[in-house]
Structure 1
Amino acid sequence: MSQTRPHTLFSFGTLMDPKVQTALFGRAVPSFPASLAGHTTRPLRITDPAVIAASGLDVHLILERRIGAVVEGAVLHLTDEELAAADAYEVDDYVRRRVVLSSGESAWAYLDAKPLRPAARIVIVGDSIAYGRCDPQGGWAAHLAAAHIAGNEVDHRVFNLAIPGSTLADVSEQTPPLLAPRRPDTILLAAGINDSAQPLSDPDADGLAHLADSLDSLAALAHGLGARLVVLGPVWLDEERTADYEGLRFTRARALALRASLRAWCEEHHVDYLDMWEPLSENPGLLVDGVHPTPEGHKELHRHLEAVGR
């Protein structure tokens, strides 16, 4: 097998087995003991016959977050081709994401494909929609917090740090000192439509132009905290009612451009993207002013978030 640029992959299950490695890679790959703090494992039933045949097991392990716990495993050193083979081996319940090992080393690991399912301590950052504006009950974020904490009142926490009017640049500048004390394992970045807005005072301004810089900064921040970054895309807007809103112009075309840019960045950087466009799409009755969801609109967003994230 040709040697290409090396990759480090943290394994805590069947990929540590030399027989599985030989079946997948044609050899037993270089491996070294390693551990992942802040995690534990739970069993996952496997139904893919090829994976069962390779591992000899129909129950594998999957990671979930737990403060104080440590998962022991190994770091595998893989070529491009071997990493692709590992991706193909893992079933759809897993996705490959970056983690920080106990040693401080960054490595790939296979995590739960539903990013909210293994979460314990969630921090929400974003704009007025994430803040819950126009809903006295606190919006979709409050519904998420209630459900999440009810699932495990001892260990689960949700902190909503969203600020109305924020862009991604604002979030990347304002929230870093607020995150560490809350010890997040999951950061929900609600990337609303403020980045797509065109200021009426400066029609040439383009908030989308610097989108990647803000996302890069927030991804590095999350990784440094050992947290999983989850990007939530913008919600549908009723352009006929947004008009010129508080000195800003919102258009559906710009919002769709933001949505596409976020999805593309997340795919390129192996970051979770949860699309939030469809729940309110073509349903203007679920929007107060064309931009902000009604209380029922926030419930729809929460139902959707639970379905795609958990």
Structure 2
Amino acid sequence: MTAARPHALFSFGTLRDGRVQTALFGRTVPSTPASLAGHTTRPQPITDQAVIDASGLDVHLTLERKIGAEVEGSVLHLTDEELAAADAYEVDDYARRRVLLSCGEQAWAYLDANPLRPAARIVIVGDSIAYGRCDPRGGWAAHLAAAHIARNETDHRVFNLAIPGSTLRDVSEQTPALLAPRHPDTLLVAAGINDSAVPLTAPGTDESRLTHIPDSLGALAATALTHNARLVVAGPVWLDEERTRDYEGLRFTRARALALRETLRTWCAEHHIDFLDLWEPLREAGHLLVDGLHPTPEGHLALHRHLDAPVR
């Protein structure tokens, strides 16, 4: 029987400290120098006393995106048990995600648990709701862009490339060619509701239109990592089924939308990808939907407030 391949974890902070490693893992672990391009660091206050006791510090570092910057650190080579111990050590402000090191190799790293807070250049891809249909001001994505750019007009950018009518498969096929000129560090995918629809010419409860979702998400994750961008998946919004039974030849149902939501959420949890749940802000708020499916301008504003709330 061959030994399990160790996990590569990029560390730029207290996990590099031999005393912390001994406390967590019972040994100092093998490590190699490494760097992570496109990132810088900022202070992160810590309130978990156990973490403060282990590290001796009440302020750690967290990563933030910045073109041209580079963070020096080490790749720790950990067993399954040691990776689990590292997960337990990191507080809720951090989430373990895949990154692409400057050398071209992949590794885990602990990033800000709020995926939009450390972003600088965000590309949004998706369908008509992400596009902002029914809102002349551009929908939640335009509100997000305005707030994001206002925080740092010099370095922050948001590119909304959503196309009405797109399915997640469409998005996964079209996105690779769109990213390079925009130098994204965050890829926000807000699509899938069209995948959940049932054509009126083929009614029923067949779930086959959702079976490709994992493949499409996997392709998008690979595309994002190629650009060292963080993939963020936004789930569907609540819909008023009584008003969406026959929409441009499609039937949208709450059960199908919920099945899509759960498929997206489960896949993201299993693959350590960020999931933003947009269901709750409009739940039972039919007056915030123009046609039972597309948010009104006020509905889009409610979605943006929901997305922006953790940042403030």
TM-score bracket relative to the smaller structure: over 0.9
Q: Does 2:285 correspond to 1:297?
A: no
Identify which of 214, 221, 232 aligns with 1:219. 221
Deviation by residue 1:241-292 (Cα, 9 ceiling, x = unmatched): 1121101110000000000000000000000001000000001000000000
Match of 1:40 in 2: 40
Runs of 4+ in 1 over 3 A off after TM superposition: 202-205
Task: State the partner residue of 2:172.
Answer: 172
1:133 lines up with 2:133 in the alignment: yes
Q: Check the 8 A contact 1:7/1:79 in 2, yes or no.
A: yes
Contact 1:34 1:74 in 2 (8 A): yes
How much is the aligned-residue C-alpha RMSD, in angstroms?
Answer: 1.1
Give the equivalent residue in structure 2 for 1:185.
185
User: Which residue pairs with 1:49 in the alignment?
Assistant: 49
* Shift of residue 307, structure 1, vs aligned partner: 1.8
Q: 1:309 to 1:164 in 2, by over 3 A?
A: farther
2:232 counterpart residue number: 230
What is the aligned partner in structure 1 of residue 268 from structure 2?
266
CA deviation map 1:106-160 (0-9, x unaligned): 0000000000100000000000000000000000000000000010000000000
The DSSP-based 3-state class of the residue aligned with 1:124 is: strand
Partner of 1:244, secondary structure, is coil
Distance 1:293 1:49 in 2: 44
Q: Secondary structure at the match of 1:307?
A: helix
Q: Is the 8 A contact 2:221 2:231 kept in 1?
A: yes
- What secondary structure does 2:264 align onto? helix
How far apart, in 2, do the equivalents of 1:67 and 1:31 lie? 26
Identity %: 79
- The alpha carbon displacement at 1:191 in A equals 2.5
Q: Normalization by structure 2: what TM-score?
A: 0.97
The whole-number CA distance in structure 2 between the counterparts of 1:225 and 1:257 is: 30
Quick one: which amino acid aligns to residue 77 of structure 2? H
Q: Distance in 2 between matches of 1:297 and 1:11?
A: 41
| Superposed displacement of residue 192, structure 1 | 3.9
Contact map agreement 1:196 1:206 (CA 8 A) in 2: no
Cα offset for 1:308? 4.3
The alignment of Structure 1 onto Structure 2 pairs a total of residues equal to: 308
Question: What TM-score, normalized to structure 1?
Answer: 0.97
> Which residue of the partner structure matches residue 65 of structure 1?
65
One-letter code of the match for 1:189?
A: V
The 10-residue stretch of structure 1 (196-205 or 259-268) with the greater mean CA deviation from structure 2: 196-205
